[in-house]
Amino acid sequence: MHEVDMTRYLLQALEDWREQHPVQPHVGTVHLLVGEFTCVEPGQLRLSFAAAVEDTWLAGARLSIVSVPLVGECLVCGNSYRPDPTCGYASPCCGHPLETILSGRELKIHRIDYSRPRICGPPAQPPLAPGQPTPPFPDPSHAHAHQ
């Protein structure tokens, strides 16, 4: 049941990502790439994630998991192939052992779909030319609240 611990690390990675945003984002879907040649069970990970995000800033976020197939490369013939446990993961053409793994070991956050509050305000000022005097602060009494 290490998916619970995987979830803990996932939440930590999402927390790191959140800290890069000045305004808290509202996360819709977290897309993961999970290789077939890992010790992660996607269903367990979804359950664990759903339970862990309740009552947190990630409440309502969904986990989307794309499984990445195990693909090996035969060093004898150079072909890529899908290693089969019933054939000992060997290259089907040469019987060579599984040397290079091209894919299937992924455990990655691939994409985060989110929304952020639209920040309204005065248009951005062009950068100052060298030597140009700094403009005075705007009069706060002219400021408007924006929703």
Partner 1 sequence: MHMPTSDTMTINLLAANGRQARHNRQHFDAWGLFCINVMSSPGAGKTVLLEQTLRALHDNHGMAVLEGDMTTQLDAQRLAGLGVPVIPITTGRVCHLDAAMVSTGLQLLQQQCDPASLDLLWVENVGNLVCPAEFAIGEHCKLALLSVTEGDDKPLKYPVMFREADCVLITKIDLLPHVPADLGRMGHHIRQINPHCGVFPVSGLTGAGLGDWLAWLGQRLPAKDHHHHQGAPRTPVV
Provide the pairing of β-strand 71-73 with 80-81: antiparallel
CA distance 146 to 36: 48
- Write down the least CB distance from residue 68 to partner 1, Å: 12
Identify the residue among 109, 122, 128, 143 touching partner 1 (CB under 8 A): 109
First to last CA, the chain: 45
Cα(40)–Cα(49) distance, integer angstroms: 13
Applying CB under 8 A, among 79, 116, 128, 143 the residue interacting with partner 1 is 116
Binding-residue pattern over the window 14 to 53 for partner 1, x denoting contact by CB under 8 A: --xx--------x-x---x----xxxx-------------
In the numeric block, the tokens 């455990």 are attached to: 107
71-73 and 26-35 strand pairing: unpaired
Residues of this chain that bind partner 1 (CB under 8 A): 1-2, 5-6, 9-10, 12-13, 16-17, 26, 28, 32, 37-40, 85-86, 88-90, 97-99, 101, 107-118, 147
